Chain A
Amino acid sequence: SQQGEEDPQALSIQEGENATMNCSYKTSINNLQWYRQNSGRGLVHLILIRSNEREKHSGRLRVTLDTSKKSSSLLITASRAADTASYFCATEIYNQGGKLIFGQGTELSVKP
């Protein structure tokens, strides 16, 4: 199965609520990255967390990484309608520098 599997596949919330997306992976990694894709556009890098880090923040984004469970979560606080997009996790596999393996994505819908 996929190196990166995301949960849930789809999430619908109201503006102002928090959104949490999860990603699980199978092999050792150098880092894990989250990307965002607006409908009809390319993916855009959001945030990166290295394998020796446990938590990272960037604006309204908070990412956690648990290497013992091989999982990560992305939290978007105080969501806005403009956050509506698909969110993908991507892992750089240990000793396979250069290549990222993307998950299937979580489709987030934020209703005004």
Chain B
Amino acid sequence: DAGVIQSPRHEVTEMGQEVTLRCKPISGHDYLFWYRQTMMRGLELLIYFNNNVPIDDSGMPEDRFSAKMPNASFSTLKIQPSEPRDSAVYFCASSDTWEGTDTQYFGPGTRLTVL
């Protein structure tokens, strides 16, 4: 398997623009997680899905952030409008309940810079 795939790897945008980050989890995995990592706040869980259904979105900073998982092989994280403080590395991860351990497999991340 190719692992968790994220796109784009780098995104530079201007304040106020809409940003869409994409994730393809490992085939067969039933959990998908979105994280944000910054120097100041470390690794924060934003939202996670189980079988395409959002389970916990309490980490989503505000209404400007939204996430969808229309099918088992694709998820998006959207920021609209973007602000400079959203600059961070965003990671997607997936896991498989049947492993019984909740080990998470991370994608390479999307480095977002909002000017």
A residues neighboring B (CB under 8 Å): 30-31, 33, 40-45, 48, 88, 90, 92, 97-105
Contacts and interface: CB of A to CB of B under 8 A. Distances in A.
A45 B48 contact: no
Nearest to B108: A42
B91 A48 contact: no
Given A48-B101, A99-B48, A100-B102, A43 B42 contact: no
Contacts of A97: 97, 102
Contacts of B105: 45
B57 interface: no
Counting chain B CB atoms within 10 Å of each CB, the highest count among A31, A48, A100 belongs to A100
B33 to A, nearest CB: 8
Nearest to B30: A98
Interface in B76-113: 91, 93, 95, 97, 101-109
B108 A98 contact: no
